[in-house]
Structures are given as C-alpha cells and as structure tokens.
Structure 1
Amino acid sequence: MAGGAVSLAWGIQLPVQSQSTLYAEAWEAGGGPADLVEIARAVDRAGAEYLACCDHVAIPRRLAGAMSTVWYDPVATLAHLAAVTERVRLLVHVAVVGLRHPLPAAKQYATLDRLSGGRLVLGVGAGHVREEFEVLDVDFGRRGAVLDESIDALRAALGPEEFPEHHGKLYDFAGLGQRPRPVQSRLPVWVGGSSPAAVRRAALKGDGWLPQGDARERMPAQIARIRRLRQERGAAGPFTVGAIAEPLYVGRAGWDVGRRTLTGAPEALAESLREYRSMGVDQVQVRFRSRSRAELIEQVDVFGAEVAPLLD
C-alpha cells in the first residue's frame, strides 16, 4: 500500500518523554534530556524509519496514577532531537490536534518540518481524556467531528500556499500568510486509532494508519477494511499501514522480560516480524525491554545491525 515497497520499515516510540505505566520501564523515571538525545542518536544510527513522541496537554488526578503526568511536548522535543539526528523521521504519535486551533498548530509543524529538513510525520488522533478538552473549551463529545475538520484545516494550512484558506464549521481563515512553509510539498498525516470511526478516518482522510492496541490476529481484517474503503472512494496515492509489535528483546535476556515479550536470536525475531509484512503492513513500531539507557541503546544497535536487514 505504500507505493509497492517490499521492505518492512521499523520505528520506535522514545522512552522518557511519556511514562504511562502500560509501557514505561523503571529506569525512565530518572531519565531526562540527555537520555533522549543519546537514544535518538542511536535510533538514527541504527537505520530506523522514525522516532516518535506522544502528546497530552495535562493529565487529571484520576488518571495520573496510571498515565503519570510526564508527557513532553512533542513539537519542542522533536525539534530538539532534529538538531542531533540526521536522517530519521520525526513522528508525532499522536497529536490531539482538536485541542489546538489549526493556524498556531500549523505554524509549529511547518517550522519543525523546515528546521528538520523535511522529516516530520504528523500523526493525529481524537484523544480520550475528557478533562483536557473541557479545560480548553473543546466539545469532548464531538471530538471525532472536530478531528475531521482539524485534518482538513491543517491540510490547507500546511500546504504550499503562503496564504492558506479554509472555510468550515469550526475554523474559518483566509488572507493570513504563514512562512516558513514546510519542506515537504505534502506533509504526511497518519491517523491513529483502531475504532471503526478511526479506521474509516485513516482510510479516507489520512496518508497512513497508526493502529492502537490491535493484536496481530485483528490486523488482516482492519487492513482489508482500509483497502475496501479507499477503493470505494477512489483514493489514490501512497498509504502507509502501521503496526505496533509485541515488546522485544534481542538475544537471551537473563532477566524476566514478561511472557508477552518476543525474545530470541535475530533470525527468529525477524521471522516473527515478517508476518506483519505478509498482512500488508509497511512499518512496525518496536519497543525493547530494558533496565537502563545503556541496555536500550545496545538493543537498538543489535536490532538495527542484525534483525532489520532480515526484514526485507
């Protein structure tokens, strides 16, 4: 679906910058900017397609125990990491774009794309934390409709025109110039989420799909639906199908990495990940179990050198 590519690309969501108890390792609690820089450099060096940063404005007390309140701003973080990397793409996974007016958001994204030499990928999602919407006076109940128009408005504001124009129910602007423009003539928008509405939105409004929580066995049916929807609509152009793999550990861990973690020799891990490609997946997000920054960088290095070449 991504223009006939045969190789399975891989990317990684950075540690430290978001620390939900669902995935954060214990060592990340003491992590900071130096860790992000060194890990981003390692990911860039290892040949990853992208590194990713999450988005939440503020976490209510009722969710802080599970989600934590550590959520670095994605634009600031990715701009910082753009300066210390060379080729890896910078993915916002995902921006809750409905929380922000499209014009100031587009100013940030266009600037980041310009500063990074055209490496930004904008992942977008509807959001799920009611209090974030309420405090910013955005209708949580209509967040799907807000996201739909936000995508259209951002498409206009991030296009080639110096004076973008959009006339919708929520946002209306024209005659206001914004430079610098993005380096990319069409900045890719990948839509996140696995609900029926999110999958439909990805198929009809996005340049790619970022599933959230789909087990392997669900992926073929989801991908088939995306293909059907795009065919029915006559959608053309490249489309990137993503997946999130089970946690990984290359080699023999020697410590408890959890029963769901895929472990073993590079050949065995590559064989397992190639199943995603056979389903029609173009890029897979990987997460390595680790007890320290050093162990994570070692995992990234060995994956890039010994597993990634076997994904072709």
Structure 2
Amino acid sequence: MVRVLPEGRLSYGMQLPIQSQSRIYAEAWEATAGPDDLVAVAREADRDGFAYLACCDHVAIPRRLAEGMSTVWYDPVATLAHLAAVTDRVQLLTHVAVLGLRHPLALAKQYATLDHLSGGRLILGVGAGHVQEEFDALGADFAGRGAVLDESIDALRAALGPEEFPEFAGERYAFSGLGQLPRPARERVPVWVGGSSPAAVRRAAVRGDGWLPQGDPRDRLPAQIAKLGRLREEAGITGPLEIGAIAEPLYVGDAGWDVGRRTLSGKPEALAESLRAYAAMGVHQIQVRFRSRGRAELTDQMAAFAAEVAPHLDR
C-alpha cells in the first residue's frame, strides 16, 4: 500500500467544477464556463494547498438520465493532463474512472503517460459504474462489472508497475511480452476505490490504497470505517488506507444569498470545528465543494478556506 497524503492532518481536495454538470451539484454559472475557468480554478487550488483536483468519468449519457445527469462530462485523462501543465504540486484524481469500460492495457497507456507528464501526481480513483447503456454501447459487461473491476485493478497494478514489459494472467485479461513506455513517474500509482456498497467497501479494504465513499452521510461513516478496518485485519493487510469523505457544501462567511439549508456557512472557526469531526472519525481527506455564483466567487471561497479555515482543521 502507498500513502500520498501527509500523516497527522486532515487534507482537503475538490471535485473540479465545469467538467461534470449533474443537476445535483452544478452551479448555474458552470453552463457557460469553459477552459479558461477550469485553468483558473486549478491554479487557485495549486496555490491554496488543495491536496487534489478530481475529474469524473462518463463516456455517454442516455436520454433517460440526461435531464438529471446532463451530458457534460469531460474526459478525465484529457482534462487532468491539460491541468497538469498549468499546475505544479496539486495531485490529479480520477473520481472515479470506470475501469470496466476499457481494456487495462489501454488504460495503463493513458494513465502511465499522465503520471509521467505530471511528475508523479496521479491518484487513480476507480469504480464499477452504474449506467448500463454506456457498457452496452462499448461492448462491456455491465452485469459482471464488479468482478471485471476487481480483475482490472489487479491488471492495472501490473501494467502500471516499474516493468517495461508487464505481465498479467487473469480470467478476462492476459498480457505478456508487450512493452509500454513511458512508465509512471511514481514507483506505485495509488489506487483509491470508490463506492459505498458492501462490495465496494470490501474492494477498497482488500485492493485499495484509499477509499472514496459515495454519498455516505456523517452518521454512516464511523460504521463504514470500522468495517474497512475489520476487513483489512481479516485479510492480513497492515498497510495504510487513506479514507476520504465528501463534506457538506460550504460557504466561508455570511453569504448574503440563499446557499441552501444543507450548506455549512459562517465564521471560519465554526466551519473548521464542524469539519474536524471527520478527522475524529478516522477520515484522512475531505472533498469540499463551495457554493458560488461565478468563477470569481468560487476562487475567492477557495482562497478564504485555505487561509482562514484550513489552519484550524488539525486542532
């Protein structure tokens, strides 16, 4: 297992705006935003000590889901590579790559190149996927996607390792005698497993370097974290597992506009006190999202969080 976050502190990262525009979380201004806005947000995160920037993964959205999910889903490899070129230190997370849609060797070529070009900043977040039409259109196995994901993780571990000619033999995938350069800059690319179902939690426990929960409210997290620990102990795994959480929407200060009843807003010290509860549960990183009416307000919120809230997270 590999650790990428500093020990003894609560790190914070964020899902990029604009690149995915589900009606559940996208702000109205994102509909007319573009590459310049993405770059500005990425550079702000780089300046402000954000641990990572995250990008989602969907190939195509069926009509039955388009109204709620929208059809705006940027490609994660292209997006993160573009932002790697305009940032220096922030890590680049796929949250999450749907591995079952693509062959592991093709994925390895893309992600090894991304890690190489970014100087070792890739965190490969992976998940099973949930949109059957995507799988059907690409000739992928939707019904068996859990087992496919398990094997894909193992195959990618081999393909993203240090060997120029990696080898793997599984039930679905096998390769040997096939060289791929460049290799990743990291000796081992960290794999964070997404999902909160029993199967996803078990997968994170036995195959992951980290866990990315999906929609778990605060009161569910302690039991899930305890389960991860039990599963790892039963499997004889002693290395670190970096545990994440998706925090409530945030607004630093008094908004002066309706930011929604679920949003945590107010004085920085009060926000930090609320967020410290995640660390007390055993969470290592929180994914934060800020309510905003435009790019400038978003980057101002990011800067305010870094300067006024983050210093209090570890007290």
Find the counterpart in structure 2 of residue 175 from structure 1. Answer: 177
- Correspondence for 2:205: 203
Counterpart-to-counterpart distance in 2, 1:5 and 1:275? 17
Q: C-alpha distance in 1, partners of 2:282/2:239?
A: 16
Q: Which amino acid aligns with 1:64?
A: A
How far apart are residue 65 of structure 1 and its match?
Answer: 0.3
Aligned equivalents of 1:215, 1:40: Cα separation in 2: 27
Identify the match of residue 98 of structure 2 among 96, 118, 129. Answer: 96
Corresponding residue number in structure 1 for 2:261 = 259
* Unaligned runs of at least 5 residues, structure 1: none
Provide the residue aligned with 2:250 in structure 1: 248
Give, in whole Å, the separation in 2 of the partners of 1:139 and 1:187.
26
- Aligned equivalent of 2:71: 69
2:140 aligned counterpart, secondary structure: coil
Match of 1:280 in 2: 282
Q: In structure 2, what is the equivalent of residue 117 of structure 1? A: 119
- Listed one character per residue, the Cα deviations across residues 37-93 of structure 1 (whole Å, up to 9, x for unaligned) are 000000110100001000000000110000000000000000000000010000000
Residue 184 of structure 2 aligns with an amino acid whose one-letter code is: P
CA distance, structure 1, for counterparts of residue 237 and residue 311 of structure 2: 32
Q: Which residue of the partner structure matches residue 44 of structure 1? A: 46
1:4 and 1:249, CA in 2 relative to 1: closer, same or farther beyond 3 A?
Answer: closer
Partner of 2:188: 186
The 2-side partners of 1:88 and 1:236 are apart by 28
Letter in 2 for 1:187: V
Amino acid at match of 1:238: P
Deviation, 1:4, is 8.5
Work out the CA distance in 1 between the residues paired with 2:127 and 2:283: 20
Report if the CA contact (8 A) 2:23-2:69 is conserved: yes
Deviations 1:269-288 (A, max 9, x none): 00000000000000000000
Normalised to the residue count of structure 1, the TM-score between the two structures is 0.99
> Is residue 100–residue 141 contact of structure 2 (8 Å, CA) maintained in 1?
no
2:74 paired with 1:83: no
Q: Give the gaps of 5 or more residues in structure 2.
A: none
d(CA) in 2 for partners of 1:46, 1:117: 19
**How far apart are the structure 2 equivalents of 1:276 and 1:15?**
23
Aligned AA (1:301): A
CA-to-aligned-CA distance 1:110-165 (integer Å, 9 cap, x gap): 00000000000000000000000001111111100010000000000001111001
Shift of 1:237: 2.0
Q: Distance in 2 between matches of 1:94 and 1:84?
A: 22
Given residue 92 of structure 1, which amino acid in structure 2 is its aligned partner? T
Structure 1 Cα separation of the partners of residues 187 and 7 of structure 2: 21
Cα distance in 1 for partners of 2:43, 2:124 equals 21
Q: Alpha-carbon deviation of 1:236?
A: 2.7
Which amino acid in the other structure matches residue 229 of structure 1? L
* SS at structure 2 position matched to 1:226: helix
Q: Report the count of equivalent residues.
A: 312
2: CA distance, partners of 1:186 / 1:4: 17
TM-score computed with the length of structure 2 as normaliser: 0.98
Query: CA separation in 1, counterparts of 2:242 and 2:39?
Result: 27
Aligned to 1:60: 62
| CA RMSD of superposed structures (Å) | 1.1
